[in-house]
Amino acid sequence: QVQLAESGGDSVQVGGSLKLSCRASGSTYRACMAWFRQAPGKEREGVASIDGEEIGRTRYAESVKGRFTITLDNAKQTLYLQMNGLTPADTALYYCAAKRGICWLPSLSESAYDSWGLGTQVTVSS
């Protein structure tokens, strides 16, 4: 497992942007990494995922395609989520997740990951 620490959450207005960061305690090169979110009263959902070895391989939830971008800086061992065009529906606690090993397919399923951060809060107001 790997230790993960998210940062960058904030309160923004509709249409605003935020960039979340997730610092990992070890190498992110051979790993699947992802962002999840959980809104009050709802289940946690996968937002975006990436293959640490082939960072061009990404996957997005339909609700964020075209607005969110996941990137990974292996040299800094840091995962990012650039969020643009934010709406109140994006309000949630955002979690970083990781699974060491060959990333056969970037997944948006919780069961694919065994390391989790504590989350960072994103609040979007109108």
Q: Beta partners for 106?
A: none
What tokens does 115 get? 């390391």
Q: What are phi and psi for residue 112, nearest 5 degrees? A: -80, -5
- Residue 53 pLDDT: 87
Q: Give the strand order in the sheet containing 68-73.
A: 4-7, 18-24, 78-83, 68-73
Task: Give me the tens of pLDDT residue by residue for the chain, a chain 126 residues long.
Answer: 899 999 999 999 999 999 999 999 988 888 999 999 999 999 999 999 999 888 889 999 999 999 999 999 999 999 999 999 999 999 999 999 999 998 888 999 999 999 999 999 999 999
Q: What's the pLDDT at 55?
A: 85
Q: Looking at residue 56, what is its pLDDT?
A: 87
The rounded distance, in Å, linking the Cα atoms of 106 and 90 is: 21
Percent helix / strand / coil, the chain, rounded to 5 = 5, 50, 45
Give the CA angle between residues 33, 116, 111 to the nearest 5°.
70
At 13 the pLDDT is: 98
